[in-house]
Amino acid sequence: MNQLKLQDLQLHIPIVGWLFIISSALMLALGIIAFFMLSSVGVVSGDAQAALILGTVGTWGGIFLLILSLPGFLAGYGLLKHKEWGRILAIVVAFLNLLNFPLGTLFAFYTLWVLLQTSANEYFSYAQPAPA
C-alpha cells in the first residue's frame, strides 16, 4: 500500500472531514424532504387515515435519517479539529458505509485508505497550533 506522508495527510484528512459533513447534510436534507413530502401528500389526499399514516411514516423516517446522519457530522467535526475520537468514529462509520453501494463504498475505501495510514497516528497525536 502506498504510504502517505504527514504533509499528504494534512490535505486528505480535511477532505474526508468535509465529505462526512456534506454527506450527512444531504442525508438530513433527504429526511426533511421526505417528512414534508409525505405529510403534504397525506393532507392533500383529503383522507384522514392517509394523512395520519403518511405523517407518521414521514416523521419517523425523518427522525431515522437524522439519527443516521449524526455520527457523520460528529466524525467530520472531529477530523477537522484533529481529534483522535473523530478518527475512530470516522473509521467505524466508513465500515458501515461499505454497504452503501456505490458512492458510500467508494467514500468508505477513500476514508479507510487515508485514516489507516501509519502516519495518521502521528498526525492525530501531533498538537495542532490554535488558530490566531
Per-residue pLDDT of 8-30, as tens digits, reads 888 999 999 999 999 999 999 99
In a domain, 1, yes or no: no
Name the least confident of 1-5, 50-54, 111-115, 118-122.
1-5
What's the domain count of the chain?
1
> Is the pLDDT at 128 greater than 70, yes or no?
no
- Phi, psi of 102, rounded to the nearest 5 degrees: -100, -30
Name the least confident of 1-5, 45-49, 67-71.
1-5
DSSP 4: P
Judge contact between 4 and 12, C-beta under 8 A: yes
Structural domain span for residue 10: 6-125
Cα–Cα nearest to 91, from 13, 27, 31, 22: 13
Cα–Cα nearest to 82, from 116, 19, 25, 126: 126
